[in-house]
Structure 1
Amino acid sequence: MTDIQIGFAGIAILLILIAFRVPIALALISVSFVGTSVLVSPKAAWGVLGVIPYNFTATWHLSSIPMFVLMGFFCYHAGLTTGLFKAARMWLSALPGGLAVAGVLGCAGFAAVTGSSIACAAAMGRIATPEMLRYRYDEGLATGTIAAAGTIGALIPPSILFILYGIIAQVQVSQLFLAGSVIGLITVIAYTLVIVIRVKLNPALAPAVEEHVGWGERLAALREVWPVLVLVFGVFGGLFAGIFTPTEAGGVGAAMSLMIALVRRSITLKGIWISLVETLTISSAIFIIAVGASMLTRFFIFSGVSDAIAESVLSLGISPILLILAITLLYLVLGMFLEPIGAMLLTLPILLPLVEGAGIELLWFGVLAAKLLEIGMITPPIGLNVFVLKGVMGDRISIGTIFSGVTYFILADLIIIAVMIAFPGIVLFTQNLLQ
């Protein structure tokens, strides 16, 4: 077999292992190790296994990942985000489907301190969904809203997807954060329109909330969201103003969230310990997948498979728009079966040479990829956010009801993707804002 044939065989074996539910990190590392052994030598494979994990994880920029994760867990265990939905409900309950709209805004606010879709869906599912059901909201609307709105967590800073993509693709993380915020805001508006229009057309989906809320109560509710506002403006205001780097922003965010929790006396030593343990668990899982992807990239370099694919595709004269449409379809399919970080790290070694060769702007592609992968979090058969909501609700609501509820939001997401492809300037205009 030639080197390129061995490379393609490695891709096939990798897909088979993933299909058999082998953990993606183990599949990436094992295929890369065996492939390098065959292509070069077992000694070289052991050398790669010894060098790559250290070289990759010792990257200074990666330290922002555990720091942002820690910030999110501090906020969660200290209850700093619990007032988000209450405040949104106080101000928006008069709108058609106001509680569902409040759930979307609550997820957006929670995303600003976690950067995790699953965390958003789990936390707001416990807070917002029971409240909507108490007011006799349609079960599909109540659960589908939160499952879909949880995907905003990967678009609004601090997005773990953007940090990893920025490091691998050599794109400024701060620019990805800013561009992602724009698409995150568009997503919030689109989801809000979906809810309002649906309820306008069918008021039975969300009966009007008979609740008279005075201005005093509304202003009092706003006081409960000050921890999140302080964090967002302190951390990301400083980041976008150039006061500190994305790496430093993670440390600042973790320190600020802990200080706010201690000032409010809302976190215990046990809560701090649990936050640290959960941060180590999540960060380790992310890092080992990233190490596997880095080893896979080295295997592809040895085999020449990435360059071969790029040259073959580009030699066909396929236009950039057709290439993007093919990648869009690929990510929508992968998103049905793989979690976003694994899917992104699995595909970037092959897709980045294609995208660069076609002259596509990497900043725009990174935001598009994040949006596409997050759609996969709510698409059947394995929409992770949907199953998170199912776990929160137990036997009260069927999985089919939740999948039915997210359908309208998936359609809104596909429209956003079409707009991004047709008008890339809605992402790229942010390039000049940080220069």
Structure 2
Amino acid sequence: MDDLLITTLLVLSLFALLGSGVWIGLTLTGVAWIGMQLFSARPAGDAMALTIWGSASSWTLTTLPLFVWMGEILFRTKLSEDMFKGLAPWMNRLPGRLLHTNILGCTLFAAVSGSSAATCATVGKMALPELKRRGYPDGIVVGSLAGAGTLGLLIPPSLIMIVYGVTADVSIARLFAAGVFPGLLVAGLLMAYVMLWAAFHRDQVPAADPGMSFLDKLKASRSLIPVVLLILAVLGSIYTGVATATEAAALGVVGALLLSAAQGSLNWRTFRDSLMGATRLYCMIALILAGAAFLTLSMGYIGLPRHLAEWIGSLGLSPLALLVALMVFYILLGCFLDGISMIVLTMGVVLPIVQGAGIDLIWFGIFLVIVVEMAQITPPVGFNLFVLQGMTGRELPWIARQAAPMFVLMMGALGLIYVFPEIATWLPQQVMRR
């Protein structure tokens, strides 16, 4: 049967199942079964059992639930309460003042969360009421939080990097290293935008708080020191080669439990809630990954990825044109799917194309994560927009308009990483040499 007809049938099956409310993981499994049953000689049931078992029993995947649990534990500590108190005194003299606590708070929490929605919700819960009480305009507060919340995907440890590393079969430690400087670049661009906005809207920026001595600032920030040390211990153990990503994740869980106990927020209820929250999130991700693994196998037997790669190769696209086409494709896909689903659903087709174009898979992983970040703040299914809508009660189109400048800044970050690929590739090369 013609490849176009097969592709059309499978895409229609995909959207029909998604539109009927079937879980994404089961939808991927169902579409894979249809494809293998109708267009392949291999028995679909046997292939499905072997593939799902192989996906579920992957040792590399054990990193994921551990980092999820670490984030859930710290989410329930006093971190969110202490973050504003610790960061605010250092922001008073910057143009935009306390608006920067949104960005730096998300940068800090991203390094213990790995989730965009959790980062946006945690920092927003702390910053939105406080900044509103102090008289900061709603638009720039919500816009900066929408953009900075996406750093949960880019700054390691990142759940989506783990998923990409597993599906693309690349080193998760090197991916984590690759995300550090791009994450700081995006945070820096967001802070620069806030400063520029403040320069043109001086009358809308509240007056600075009374000055504090350097010693007083340090005292106000002392509650953040244990969290920063935990972040350095987890990421440092990976980058120095002392621990694998899985071992570092286990270290992070133990450290988070000790930190929670030291703060007095560890009890049976918080332990149970963090464990159950991590279990629910991981089971959802694991089901999606299993379905995607079966779909990748099914597409391989049908031959669609190979044919599509050959067709795109025949177009003679330059690497830049290919990346632009993929960026548009993923942003459009992000209007309907979450980031993890986007990656696992498309890797079987996209990876042969990217490898054929000679694009480094570590660099491409960072490119992909930033594009997924952009999709997090594009309607109608931008997850960060939904989080902010639930927290502010504002209309979704209004929130999307406030987030639009952050979308443009992320596109600028992509341009910088393309022109200067060393931003993403230098640190992983140092890790590989150890």
Normalising TM by the smaller chain, what interval?
Answer: over 0.9
Amino acid at match of 1:29: T
For residue 46 of structure 1, report the CA deviation from its aligned partner: 1.1
Supply the distance in 2 between the matched residues of 1:60 and 1:22 (Cα, whole angstroms): 28
1:312 lines up with 2:307 in the alignment: no
Q: Comparing 56-65 with 201-210, which one deviates more in the overlay?
A: 201-210
Supply the distance in 1 between the matched residues of 2:274 and 2:399 (Cα, whole angstroms): 30
Q: TM-score, normalised by structure 2?
A: 0.95
For residue 113 of structure 1, report the CA deviation from its aligned partner: 0.5
1:335 lines up with 2:325 in the alignment: no
In structure 1, the residue matched to 2:406 is 409
Supply the distance in 2 between the matched residues of 1:228 and 1:106 (Cα, whole angstroms): 12
For residue 426 of structure 1, report the CA deviation from its aligned partner: 2.0
Supply the distance in 2 between the matched residues of 1:230 and 1:426 (Cα, whole angstroms): 24
Q: Judge conservation of contact 2:111–2:155 (CA < 8 Å) in 1.
A: yes
SS of 1:59's partner is coil
SS of 2:29's partner is helix
Supply the distance in 2 between the matched residues of 1:332 and 1:220 (Cα, whole angstroms): 44
In structure 2, the residue matched to 1:237 is 236
**Gaps spanning 5+ residues in structure 2: where?**
none
1:26 lines up with 2:26 in the alignment: yes
In structure 2, the residue matched to 1:10 is 10
For residue 84 of structure 1, report the CA deviation from its aligned partner: 2.1
SS of 1:141's partner is helix
Supply the distance in 2 between the matched residues of 1:165 and 1:281 (Cα, whole angstroms): 20
SS of 2:430's partner is helix
Q: Judge conservation of contact 1:93–1:99 (CA < 8 Å) in 2.
A: yes
Supply the distance in 1 between the matched residues of 2:336 and 2:344 (Cα, whole angstroms): 14
Q: Comparing 262-271 with 11-20, which one deviates more in the overlay?
A: 11-20
Q: Judge conservation of contact 2:175–2:428 (CA < 8 Å) in 1.
A: no
Q: Judge conservation of contact 1:85–1:105 (CA < 8 Å) in 2.
A: no
1:423 lines up with 2:420 in the alignment: yes
Q: Judge conservation of contact 2:112–2:157 (CA < 8 Å) in 1.
A: yes
SS of 1:210's partner is coil
SS of 1:382's partner is coil
Q: Comparing 357-366 with 210-219, which one deviates more in the overlay?
A: 210-219
Supply the distance in 1 between the matched residues of 2:369 and 2:95 (Cα, whole angstroms): 30
In structure 2, the residue matched to 1:366 is 365
Evaluate the alpha carbon distance shift between residue 2 and residue 383 of structure 1 in structure 2; reply closer, same or farther with a 3 A threshold.
closer
Amino acid at match of 2:243: F
In structure 2, the residue matched to 1:210 is 209
For residue 87 of structure 1, report the CA deviation from its aligned partner: 1.4
Q: Comparing 65-74 with 253-262, which one deviates more in the overlay?
A: 253-262
SS of 1:279's partner is helix
In structure 1, the residue matched to 2:88 is 89
Alignment of 1:64-103 (within 5 A): 64-103=63-102
In structure 1, the residue matched to 2:116 is 117
Supply the distance in 1 between the matched residues of 2:261 and 2:209 (Cα, whole angstroms): 37
In structure 2, the residue matched to 1:128 is 127
SS of 1:189's partner is helix
Amino acid at match of 2:182: I
For residue 264 of structure 1, report the CA deviation from its aligned partner: 2.7
Q: Judge conservation of contact 1:290–1:345 (CA < 8 Å) in 2.
A: yes
Q: Quote the RMSD (CA, aligned, Å).
A: 1.7
For residue 330 of structure 1, report the CA deviation from its aligned partner: 0.6
Deviation track 1:389-429 (CA, whole Å, cap 9, x = no partner) reads 121123xx433332222122111111111222233232122
Q: Judge conservation of contact 2:80–2:123 (CA < 8 Å) in 1.
A: no
Amino acid at match of 2:138: E
Alignment of 1:260-275 (within 5 A): 260-275=259-274
Amino acid at match of 1:95: L
Amino acid at match of 1:326: A
Q: Judge conservation of contact 2:78–2:263 (CA < 8 Å) in 1.
A: no
SS of 1:82's partner is helix
Deviation track 1:341-378 (CA, whole Å, cap 9, x = no partner) reads 01111111110010011111111110000000011111
For residue 183 of structure 1, report the CA deviation from its aligned partner: 0.5
Q: Comparing 73-82 with 371-380, which one deviates more in the overlay?
A: 73-82
Supply the distance in 2 between the matched residues of 1:156 and 1:138 (Cα, whole angstroms): 28
Amino acid at match of 2:416: V
Supply the distance in 2 between the matched residues of 1:380 and 1:4 (Cα, whole angstroms): 29
Q: Judge conservation of contact 1:68–1:253 (CA < 8 Å) in 2.
A: yes
Amino acid at match of 2:413: I
In structure 2, the residue matched to 1:176 is 175
**Gaps spanning 5+ residues in structure 1: where?**
none
Q: Comparing 162-171 with 273-282, which one deviates more in the overlay?
A: 162-171
Q: Comparing 180-189 with 419-428, which one deviates more in the overlay?
A: 419-428
Amino acid at match of 2:129: P
SS of 2:150's partner is helix
Deviation track 1:11-63 (CA, whole Å, cap 9, x = no partner) reads 3432444456543222211110121111236x821112222221101111100
Deviation track 1:56-81 (CA, whole Å, cap 9, x = no partner) reads 01111100100000000111112234
In structure 2, the residue matched to 1:146 is 145
In structure 1, the residue matched to 2:38 is 38
Amino acid at match of 2:23: P
Q: Judge conservation of contact 2:25–2:291 (CA < 8 Å) in 1.
A: yes
1:279 lines up with 2:278 in the alignment: yes
Identity of aligned residues (%): 32
Q: Comparing 405-414 with 57-66, which one deviates more in the overlay?
A: 405-414
For residue 332 of structure 1, report the CA deviation from its aligned partner: 1.4
Deviation track 1:147-173 (CA, whole Å, cap 9, x = no partner) reads 211100001111011111111112111
Amino acid at match of 1:343: M
In structure 1, the residue matched to 2:164 is 165
Q: Judge conservation of contact 1:309–1:350 (CA < 8 Å) in 2.
A: yes
Q: Judge conservation of contact 1:65–1:160 (CA < 8 Å) in 2.
A: yes
